[in-house]
Amino acid sequence: MTRAPHRVTPSRTRIGWIGTGVNPRSYIVVALLLFLTACASSQGLHLASLQQTLQDEETRFAGALPSTSTANPSIRQGPPKLGLYVMPTGFLRHEFEWTDADREALLAWANGLQRDGLISGVSFIQFSSIKGSQLAQLRESAARHGADLLLIVDGAATVDRYNNYKGVLLYWTILGAYFADGTHSDALCLVRGALWDVRGVTKLFEEDAQGLSKIVGPAARVEDREGVTAARRQALANLMEKLRDDFARTRSGR
């Protein structure tokens, strides 16, 4: 009687870790390095996306936008009174919210305009005082506050977080994530100030200003919001300087 040939079933030894001659730990290390390398790539900071965010916000808020006017505000006796309004930023990819410190900085800047005789007074227009969610309702609220001019401030930020070679080499250890300066957090902030004539429904001028922050440190200790805060403060300071020049130029041209 002829025996059937013996079938050799491939064992796990032949097709598994030992059969390949590769230590299982090597696969883990390779996978980890690939993951960290992917995290190491900087995506960059894109100003155009921030500009688009603010443009979308303005279109939604103001509706059909009039072209920026080079004309002076509607005729009035003496310096105008200024209303300040800070757009809420807790949505629509803004990445930050205005703080009390930001509002105090704006108020101090406006008080400086008053001391220089560029405006007669200033008041904040609170969000709660607006009977609606568009520019028309905001202008009505500004008029109730006695404002002749309305400055609307808006802003948005973006963060680029990535690892350098230290992160790739050392973050696989627990201590590395706490002590190796392997993580970068770059923040770009764009703020915009638009001045409107409350009575004439005219945008008198508009300025954009940028702020940039770069932080390097251990992954467990680098906070993106700290970079955003620093970039926002820098951008706001730059914006106020630009707007101050615009106020002076508008006043001298009357």
Residue 57's pLDDT is: 86
Residue 140, class by beta-carbon neighbours within 10 Å (0-12 exposed, 13-18 middle, 19+ buried)? middle
Residue ranges of the domains in the chain? 22-252
**Residues 57, 250, 85: CA angle, nearest 5 degrees:** 35
Q: What is the distance between the alpha carbons of residues 239 and 210, in angstroms, rounded to a whole number?
A: 8
Residues 6+ apart with CB under 8 A from 9: none
- Show the tokens assigned to 104: 């105090």
Residue 132's pLDDT is: 65
> Do the beta carbons of residue 66 and residue 196 sit within 8 Å?
no
Q: What is the distance between the alpha carbons of residues 152 and 14, in angstroms, rounded to a whole number?
A: 71
- Show the tokens assigned to 136: 């028309």
Q: Which residues does the chain have with pLDDT short of 50? A: 1-2, 4-20, 27, 29-31, 33-38, 65-71
Residue 172's pLDDT is: 84
Q: What is the distance between the alpha carbons of residues 26 and 49, in angstroms, rounded to a whole number?
A: 41
Residue 29's pLDDT is: 47
**Residues 187, 237, 229: CA angle, nearest 5 degrees:** 35
Q: What is the distance between the alpha carbons of residues 88 and 71, in angstroms, rounded to a whole number?
A: 29
Q: Which residues pair with 203 in a beta bridge?
A: 196
Residue 71's pLDDT is: 47
Residue 165's pLDDT is: 86
Helices (H), 116-222: 135-144, 165-170, 174-179
The DSSP 8-state label assigned to residue 79 in this structure reads S
Q: What is the distance between the alpha carbons of residues 112 and 63, in angstroms, rounded to a whole number?
A: 32
> Do the beta carbons of residue 134 and residue 62 sit within 8 Å?
yes
* Residue from 136, 124, 54 nearest 92 by CA: 54
> Do the beta carbons of residue 208 and residue 192 sit within 8 Å?
yes
